[in-house]
Amino acid sequence: MTATQSGPLKGSVRVPGDKSISHRALILGSLAVGETVIDGLLEGDDVLSTAAVLRALGATIERDKAGGWHVHGFGVGGFGEPAQVLDHGNSGTGVRLMMGAAATTPITATFTGDTSLCRRPMRRVIEPLEMFGAEIHAREGGRLPLTLKGARMAIPVTFRLPVASAQVKSAVLLAGLNAPGRTTVLEAQATRDHTERMLQHFGATVSREAADGGLTAIHVEGQPELRPQNVRVPADPSSAAFPLVAALLVPGSNIRLDGVMLNPTRAGLIDVLRRMGANIAVENRRNESGEDIADLVVQTSALKGVEVEPEIAPSMIDEYPILAVAAAFAQGRTMMRGLAELRVKESDRLAAVAEGLKKCGAKFEIGEDWLAVDGAGPLAGGATVATNMDHRIAMSFLIAGLASKAPIKVDDTRFVATSFPTFVPLMKQLGAQFRIDNR
């Protein structure tokens, strides 16, 4: 697919539901006793894989004609042993959270995924789950496929996160649901708190307090009876980032993004872009299903380079590829630090971003966990960017092509469906110029 220079982007749209919330709503709905109704669920490949895995474990999950999802749960500890391998496709979030949810239930299950997911590290989740009493046998390096034998006599644990990872934190908290007593996660840096918020929404007892050494302790009390809930999934801020940055870069643009989640642990990109000079207005703030949301009005802006501190990385780790694109169009240097986690995403995102910038004519420097982009206005473009089977690389450079001097082509857009299946029609609705290339 190729993106070409577009006229002004105009209109009001709502991007699909948040992927993180969608995974957690399905999982906690399956662990509640009764029917949970989910509105606005992201119907991307990653989330649909989680739904299929939960069905294989015994949950009843159905979509009605109006687009609502109905989950009939079986209670904490109620997973049944699956008859088949549990395939999570490309979803790192889905497989890590489900490993946690299954780790304290006495079943045996084998988890796998696609080629990309089978290259991603699982050791960081395996180690704390084995502390509960689970037995896990993985490929060399702690990689998928792996077989998990859930603990028969689970014990609560206290675990300090070695890296800032909401996925690891969530896996431990979900495992703690079926362990007697209190399970605690200690974190040095704040990470996404969707799991804690949604656990409380479903009736679990979750608390947070300061701990020694500047740490934060998050506690969950085990063996609750979760209550089914109605969940309205807010628009995904990671998906909203693409039309948002497009509107900032394409001259004369003015768009409205409806119902975007503004959880403080996910709003880092907006904060950074505003420091760069972005005209982003936040309107109609409200709370739905325990999450803060608002409408965003975005206008074309002259951006300038800034320093992005490593402490902000957990709140925008998925948005660094599109931030790097914005930085290339800005004036001056944008320094981004604390990016080591990008090395172990769907691809080595840091290397993939740098290679794409190079092909499109941007100037930059790269280190093991940092990227410095020297912005100088519109990119030259005129290149084909390798996506490495990574949806966020594909979308980021298609956005770059809308404001570059020459078109930008990406080699593969199939994986966009994992998180943003309506990306192309939604962007075209705003006025973006994409074309399908002959294969």
Pair (319, 284) in one structural domain: yes
Reply yes or no on whether the pLDDT at 346 is more than 90.
no
Tell the burial category of 66 from Cβ atoms under 10 Å away from its Cβ (0-12, 13-18, 19+).
exposed
Cβ neighbours of 72 (radius 10 Å): 17
CB 122 within 8 Å of CB 143: yes
Enclosing domain of residue 195? 19-232
Query: Is there a single domain that holds both residue 425 and residue 293?
Result: yes
Question: Known catalytic residue: 318?
Answer: yes
Say yes or no: 251 and 197 in one domain: no
- CA quadruple 70, 391, 193, 104: dihedral sign: positive
pLDDT in tens, 132-157: 999 999 999 899 999 999 999 999 99
Say how far apart CA 332 and CA 413 lie, in whole Å: 31
- The tally of domains found in the chain comes to 2
Q: Are residues 279 and 260 in the same domain?
A: yes
Q: Do residues 129 and 257 both lie within one domain?
A: no
Q: Given the DSSP bridges, would you call strands 182-187 and 158-160 parallel, antiparallel or unpaired?
A: parallel
Predicted confidence band of residue 200 (pLDDT cuts 50, 70, 90):
very high
58 token code pair: 């015994």
Q: Are 27 and 174 in contact (CB under 8 A)?
A: yes
Tokens 């993939």 — which residue?
A: 352
Nearest CA-CA partner of 366 in 409, 398, 320? 320
- My answer on whether 216 and 74 are in the same domain is yes
Residues 369 and 280 in one domain: yes
Confidence of residue 237 (pLDDT cuts 50, 70, 90): very high
Chain segment 74-105, per-residue pLDDT in tens: 999 999 999 999 999 999 999 999 999 999 99
313 and 213, same domain (yes or no): no
Q: At what angle do helices 45-56 and 19-31 cross, to 10 degrees?
A: 10
Point out the catalytic residue in the list 18, 318, 390, 411. 318
CATH number at residue 96: 3.65.10.10
- 199 and 296: one domain? no
Question: Which residue, of 200, 232, 264, is where some domain finishes?
Answer: 232
Q: How far is CA 98 from the centre of its chain?
A: 15
- Model confidence at 360, in pLDDT bands (50, 70, 90)? very high
pLDDT in tens, 50-76: 999 999 999 999 999 999 999 999 999
Q: Are residues 328 and 207 in the same domain?
A: no
- The candidate with the shortest Cα–Cα distance to 88, out of 78, 98, 80, is 98
Instruction: Provide the 10 A C-beta neighbour count for residue 193.
Output: 21
Question: Which pTM value belongs to this model?
Answer: 0.89
Q: What does each C-alpha distance from 249 to 120, 193, 397 come to in angstroms? A: 33, 31, 13
HSE-CB at 431 with a 13 A cutoff on CA atoms is 17
Longest CA–CA span in the chain (Å) reads 62
Contact between 349 and 390 under an 8 Å Cβ cutoff? The reply is yes
Residue where a domain stops, chosen among 180, 202, 232? 232
Task: Please give the pLDDT value at position 434.
Answer: 95
Both tokens assigned to 207 = 């608390």
b vs e for 402-439, b when ≥16 Cβ sit within 10 Å of the residue's Cβ? bbbeebbbbebbebbbbbbbbbbebbeebbbbbeeeee
Does 227 share its domain with 240? no
* 80 and 150 together in one domain: yes
Boundary residue ending a domain (211, 232, 253) = 232
**Residue 11 has what pLDDT?**
98
The alpha carbon of residue 331 and the mean position of all alpha carbons in its chain are separated, in whole angstroms, by 29
CA dist 247 and 301 (Å) reads 8
